[in-house]
Structure 1
Amino acid sequence: MTPTKLPPNDSTLEDLQNLESALSETLFDSFDTGYYIGMMSGTSLDGMDAVICQFDDSDNEKIVATHTKQFPEHLRDTLLALCQPNGITNLAHPVKNTILEQQPQSELEWFGWASREYAEFASTVVNELLEQSGITADAILAIGCHGQTVRHRPNLGFSLQLVDPNIIAERTGISLVSDFRRRDMAVGGQGAPLAPAFHLAQFADPTQSDKDLIVVNLGGIANITVLPSNQADQVIGYDTGPANILLDAWYQSHHPDSATLYDDAGQWAQSGTVNSELLAQLMAYPYFDQNAPKSTGREEFNLDWLMQQIEQFSAETEQSIDAASVQATLTQLTAQSLCDAIQTESDRLGLTPGNIIVCGGGAYNPNLISQIAQQLPDWQVATSQEFGIAPTWVEAMAFAWLARQTIIGATGNLPAVTGATKAVVLGQVCFA
């Protein structure tokens, strides 16, 4: 028997529509201003940073809690090996803390194992962050986790981030947003850098209409975001070249027993002398003259590349150079390639020098910051700490912001930065 349909009561229907609208607005407000976790392990692979952030109506973030944790040695070694073609052939450590009953036998197996192990580690970081903050998993709307880039080849049309989002969603009970790069690449972009959109939302100050702003990230790779005053449509950004990736690799190769993985405050570099001939050779590398949009990574700048450059230098000049002076020269390489790019954009766009906001681990290297300030005397160089955010947390915050953009269906890339044909919603969601 077909049930008889009753005509809708206009008053009841209107009440239901009003209730649905109210619930929708409340739900959207929650997604818009609730808690998000951002996670980042950069090119330097010195550990994983995580933050809990909350947004306000002006799109700015407030850090609620932070946590950082160094990678277990066996996982870090594996990630470093996977960043290099056939790098796993040098791995000798046994697999630990894994469900596998035998050692991975190929690069593909190592990738699969590391994706799971990375996710287990990331889940531990999230759960420790929640425990320390006193915030429950139910209060977190989503996690933004970039994963670990092990191969970035925009010239071949792909970028590969290592992480198993299913593990994190299951272990934490929180929905996870990951795989941020590939949607941008699907519309012709480089998939990087992604932080400039966040820099625009976080640091652009419409009240400072007479000065232009540049955000510099000194992570493993150095990149810039140029924010012309009151001209959001002219934001540009790209990777300028190596930063900590070479400094850390060279330091670690000469200080294997050091308690730190980096040249603390640039002290070792300061004990050496910049070799102008080696610097000129390094600066002649083709990447530095490429036009933007452009992006790079460990695939291009790594310890093997550096050793080849030094061997070529010694063969052509019949000179030897001490290790500390190589470190000094690498510091100058980072500063010069960065400052050359800033000067090029300043001349091209007719910028009025304002603030250069420095974030990333390199912000804690006073030797490097001093060299940047010396080469750009018209700009005011300061770390992001002076603008309310510790340099360590800016990139993790960016991925909390990008996760929010995905959840609310807002675009997360800047086509002028990545070279994409249009702005798109980034990332894929793995629901808890």
Structure 2
Amino acid sequence: MLVIGLMSGTSADGVDAALVEWPDDAATRPFRLLAFRGEPFPRELQERIHALAAGRLAAGAVLRELAALDVLLAERFADAAAALAREAGVALGAIDAIASHGQTVAHHPELRATLQIGDPSVIAERTGVTTVADFRPRDLAAGGEGAPLAPFFHWAALADAAESRVVLNLGGIANVTALPKGGDPDAVVAFDVGPANALVDAVVRAVSNGAERMDRDGARARRGRADAALLARLLDDEFLRRAPPKSTGRERYGWAEGEALLAEWSAAGRAPDDLVATLVAFTAEAVARACRDFCGGAPQRLLACGGGARNPAVMDALRAALGAATRVEPTDAAGVPGDAVEAMAFSLMGRNALLGVPNHLPRCTGAGRAAVLGEIAPGRGARRWR
């Protein structure tokens, strides 16, 4: 079965698209990544998404902007899927489904509420391909946190019979999936750790007046020096101490928090690069503590993916925090390209939704039962899979 997975994460810097060939039944192996591409968003679109998610709009403009972005992002997602199919040399008519995570603009598990935009009906209409979307709400409805969902794919693709592994996704938010040796899905533990790139991106954007959107290649973090006092304060965080299942987002670690830290730091006459270095150390130490406290100790191997895995300062900080007993490397070393992991995850979840097969790990999200996540917008000439 050929399924395109689409993912736009908390950084809102673009959409990743992965075309994966899966077995036609419920098996997850073997699978084959046929094509992958990332489509960056224009800066103006990224700014609009962040402004909406941060509540920085006049009250009368919020619903109009929400509706406008719901359609605009769907058009972008449809274009990304079509471009990927062209690149792979596969006709859209041969694609069985598109599975779109959408763009999260609000996630409040304490309210059993989440909102991802990018209307799947628009995607299905533009491409003619059956589109599966809105995965998180069903998990919340079943009593879960609505996150993390990618661990289902991590287990399917990266669990190993002979090695304990942790998969670490370093997007806007850091989340871990602990895969004990042996590959038992009922033993998998996964949860959001805290911030990965979100706070650093907010600080870099503010200090550069928007000229920089990230700490490219970790240059600022490497020039800076972590501040022990601020690091200790950041680590004294109720969310970090809370036992899983748990999830978080920009509502806790976003623009406002990053800008507030920068304002405090600047008022004290401190160098911005030292703040960036401290935030990188915060992420690494939070991950190390999460492994120790909730994942049964440091794993034999930590496999990193997401934008942060391309930041050498972050990877070096992780190695220092976890120690020599853990080999830290990108998921590419295990055969899954790091940039494609999350898009591939939703490709698998979409395949399972079409088959009517559960596509999450309830133990990881806290859901009361295994459910089939996702709502389906049929394409033209859609076939019946169940």
Coarse TM-score class (shorter-chain normalised): over 0.9
Q: Does 1:301 find its partner at 2:253? A: yes
Number of equivalenced pairs: 374
Secondary structure (helix, strand or coil) at the match of 1:110 reads helix
- Residues 352, 223 of structure 1: CA spacing in aligned structure 2 closer, same or farther, 3 A cutoff? closer
- Residues 312, 249 of structure 1: CA spacing in aligned structure 2 closer, same or farther, 3 A cutoff? closer
Deviations 1:270-316 (A, max 9, x none): 1111011111111123211112111001111113213334556788x
Q: Is the 8 A contact 1:362 1:368 kept in 2?
A: yes
Q: Distance in 2 between matches of 1:41 and 1:145?
A: 9
The aligned counterpart of 2:91 is 136
Secondary structure (helix, strand or coil) at the match of 1:59 reads coil
Where does 1:157-168 land on structure 2 (aligned, <5 Å)? Answer: 157-168=112-123
Q: Distance in 2 between matches of 1:109 and 1:271?
A: 43
Where does 1:5-84 land on structure 2 (aligned, <5 Å)? Answer: 34-56=1-23, 58-84=28-54
Structure 2 letter corresponding to 1:43: T
1:170 to 125, 135, 156: 125
2:292 to 330, 334, 343: 343
Q: Is the 8 A contact 2:191 2:244 kept in 1?
A: yes
Q: Which sections of structure 1, spanning at least 5 residues, go unmatched?
A: 1-33, 91-104
1:374 to 320, 323, 329: 320
Q: Distance in 2 between matches of 1:323 and 1:352?
A: 32
Deviates more, 1:115-124 or 1:284-293: 284-293
The aligned counterpart of 1:410 is 357
Secondary structure (helix, strand or coil) at the match of 2:32 reads strand
Secondary structure (helix, strand or coil) at the match of 2:279 reads helix
Structure 2 letter corresponding to 1:362: G
Deviations 1:93-120 (A, max 9, x none): xxxxxxxxxxxx5211110111001001
Q: Does 1:401 find its partner at 2:348? A: yes
Q: Which sections of structure 2, spanning at least 5 residues, go unmatched?
A: 380-386
Q: Distance in 1 between matches of 2:87 and 2:21?
A: 17
Deviations 1:304-352 (A, max 9, x none): 213334556788xxx4321010100010011111111011134xx3x57
Instruction: Compute the displacement of 1:124 (Å).
Output: 1.2
Instruction: Compute the displacement of 1:383 (Å).
Output: 0.5
Where does 1:161-200 land on structure 2 (aligned, <5 Å)? Answer: 161-200=116-155
Instruction: Compute the displacement of 1:143 (Å).
Output: 0.6
Deviations 1:13-39 (A, max 9, x none): xxxxxxxxxxxxxxxxxxxxx110000
Q: Does 1:117 find its partner at 2:87? A: no
Deviations 1:219-246 (A, max 9, x none): 1100000111223211110000000111
Structure 2 letter corresponding to 1:422: R
2:308 to 362, 383, 386: 362
Q: Distance in 1 between matches of 2:293 and 2:272?
A: 31
Secondary structure (helix, strand or coil) at the match of 1:64 reads strand
1:383 to 326, 330, 334: 330
Instruction: Compute the displacement of 1:366 (Å).
Output: 1.1
Q: Distance in 2 between matches of 1:428 and 1:256?
A: 40
Structure 1 letter corresponding to 2:82: N
Q: Distance in 2 between matches of 1:385 and 1:256?
A: 34
Instruction: Compute the displacement of 1:68 (Å).
Output: 1.3
4+ residue segments displaced more than 6 Å: none
Instruction: Compute the displacement of 1:43 (Å).
Output: 0.5
The aligned counterpart of 1:245 is 198
Structure 1 letter corresponding to 2:98: I
Instruction: Compute the displacement of 1:58 (Å).
Output: 4.7
- Aligned-pair identity in percent equals 36
Structure 2 letter corresponding to 1:372: L
Q: Quote the RMSD (CA, aligned, Å).
A: 1.8
The aligned counterpart of 1:328 is 277
Where does 1:195-206 land on structure 2 (aligned, <5 Å)? Answer: 195-206=150-161
Q: Distance in 2 between matches of 1:308 and 1:145?
A: 33
Instruction: Compute the displacement of 1:353 (Å).
Output: 3.3
2:62 to 107, 125, 130: 107
Instruction: Compute the displacement of 1:354 (Å).
Output: 1.7
- Residues 155, 54 of structure 1: CA spacing in aligned structure 2 closer, same or farther, 3 A cutoff? same
Q: Is the 8 A contact 1:60 1:201 kept in 2?
A: no
Q: Distance in 2 between matches of 1:364 and 1:279?
A: 23
The aligned counterpart of 1:271 is 223
TM-score under structure 2 length normalisation: 0.93
